[in-house]
Amino acid sequence: MKKDIHPKDYRLVVFKDISNDYAFMSKSTVKTKETIVWEDGLEYPLVKLEISHMSHPFYTGKMKFVDTAGRVDKFKTRYQKHLDKKENK
């Protein structure tokens, strides 16, 4: 095996699923600018996830619509004028 190819700067990082506010802590080398105060009162780096095992349909057994970045709301506001014209006719 090759020597010295794996990172050595592992630290505790909090990963947070933004679709259901589930968070868990693990060791990682991921770089992040955000931090969060964890249950133990200490501050840790934060990585936001769009989907995790708590929200993925494969693991939950439930189909759930995940609207990332408000795409549905953006669509509705963009075409609201067109919908209003149809209703007024």
Q: What would the pLDDT profile of 7-41 be if each residue is shown by its tens digit?
A: 888 999 999 988 888 899 999 999 999 999 999 99
What's the confidence (pLDDT) of residue 29? 93
Q: Tokens representing 30? A: 């991921």
Residues 71, 74: Cα–Cα separation, whole Å: 5
Is 45 part of any domain?
A: yes
pTM > 0.75: no
- The range of the structural domain enclosing residue 57 comes to 11-88
Is 69 part of any domain?
A: yes
Residue type for 61, please?
Answer: G
Residues 43, 11: Cα–Cα separation, whole Å: 12
Is 3 part of any domain?
A: no
Number of domains in the chain: 1
Is 30 part of any domain?
A: yes
CB 9: neighbour CB atoms within 10 A?
Answer: 7
Q: Report percent pLDDT > 90 for the chain.
A: 37
Displacement of CA 49 from its chain's centroid (Å): 2
Please write the tens of the pLDDT for every residue from 37-62: 999 999 999 999 887 777 765 555 56
Q: Tokens representing 20? A: 């259901």
What's the confidence (pLDDT) of residue 15? 93
